[in-house]
Amino acid sequence: MGIVLITGATAGFGQACATTYAAKGYDVIITGRRKERLEAFKTQLTQEFGVNVLALNFDVRIEQEVNDVLGNIPEEWRKIDILVNNAGLAAGLSTIDEGSTSDWDAMIDTNVKGLLYVSKAVIPWMRARTTGHIINIGSTAAKLVYARGNVYCATKAAVDAISQGMRIDLLPYRIKVTAVHPGAAETEFSLVRFKGDEEKAKDVYKGFIPLSAQDVADVVFYCTSLPPHVCINDLVVTPLQQANAYYIDKK
Ligand code: NDP
Ligand code: 8X3
């Protein structure tokens, strides 16, 4: 079928994407910082679907680590057909005057710089084969800034702009670039945003049916299953009760 590399595959969208691609027969490269989870997930995918799985343990924020790990993958794994730039987070939900600079650094370094480092390592392999598909996971937060979303929204607006730039620059190599912008989805996202506060995290999804990680994985897979001459450039997907990043009809 092909090879897909998914960053941030130890949870949420990344994990669902890896499962979805493996179920369709793709060999998958899964990445994340939590080594034990990553290895357990590798075993699970291999046993359940009989595909080849490469588990790469690195932090997308650290350029040297990204280059060392990806630069050393075996030759046969470099024929990556699909890169899903998914690793990311929101840290905190504060007004700009009260936000923490370490939260800002974490979001900018992961959501923007990490995406760029991984892309820079993988694009030459796609360019050499004149084929490939990059999926960048943005957010409805890329399209509309919400109260206290400031820096998180800015990082996702950057993902939006970077996706547009990539699409132009990589067109000569026939590499597709799709930005997928999900709305509210119940994953570990809010648990991470609220630093482990389970009650606060649960509250986010009260009063409406959020997207599941599988909903998003299905959309990502669909984007990569179209004929070679067709490219979805930009796709926003929300729960039915969500109109945009700001407005959710909670009842
Ligand atoms: P989860 O917290 O469930 O998963 C995030 C994944 O990213 C984990 O696998 C985590 O792995 C990985 N990750 C985080 N930081 C790093 C890092 N520095 N280096 C490597 N991997 C990292 O969140 P979601 O699945 O919900 O989020 C995935 C993406 O979707 C993010 O970019 C998020 O901004 C975006 N998004 C989420 C929405 C939602 O409502 N859930 C909506 C719209 C967009 P590990 O901790 O093991 O490193
Ligand atoms: C994640 C969803 O609504 O917190 O991008 O921006 S939201």
Digitized pLDDT (tens) for each residue of the chain, 251 residues in all? 899 999 999 999 999 999 999 999 999 999 999 999 999 999 999 999 999 999 999 999 999 999 999 999 999 999 999 999 999 999 999 999 999 999 999 999 999 999 999 999 999 999 999 999 999 999 999 999 999 999 999 999 999 999 999 999 999 999 999 999 999 999 999 999 999 999 999 999 999 999 999 999 999 999 999 999 999 999 999 999 999 999 999 99
Terminal CA-to-CA distance of the chain, rounded, Å?
A: 43
14 in a structural domain: yes
Containing structural domain, residue 113:
3-184+212-237
What is the pTM assigned to this prediction?
0.99
Q: Any idea which residues carry the catalytic annotation?
A: 152
Ligand 1 contacts CB of residue 53 (under 6 A): no
8 in a structural domain: yes
242 in a structural domain: no
Asked whether the beta carbons of 39 and 14 are under 8 A apart, the reply is no
> What is the predicted pLDDT for the residue at 1?
86
Residue 237 to residue 29: CA distance in whole angstroms: 25
For residue 218 the two structure tokens come to 């299905």
190 in a structural domain: no
- The atom number, within ligand 1, closest to the CA of 61 reads 18
For residue 67, how far is the Cα from the chain centroid?
A: 19
Q: Whose CA is nearest to atom 10 of ligand 1?
A: 8
Residue 47 to residue 53: CA distance in whole angstroms: 10
173 in a structural domain: yes
ipTM of the complex: 0.98
Total domains present in the chain = 1
199 in a structural domain: no
CATH of the domain at 79: 3.40.50.720
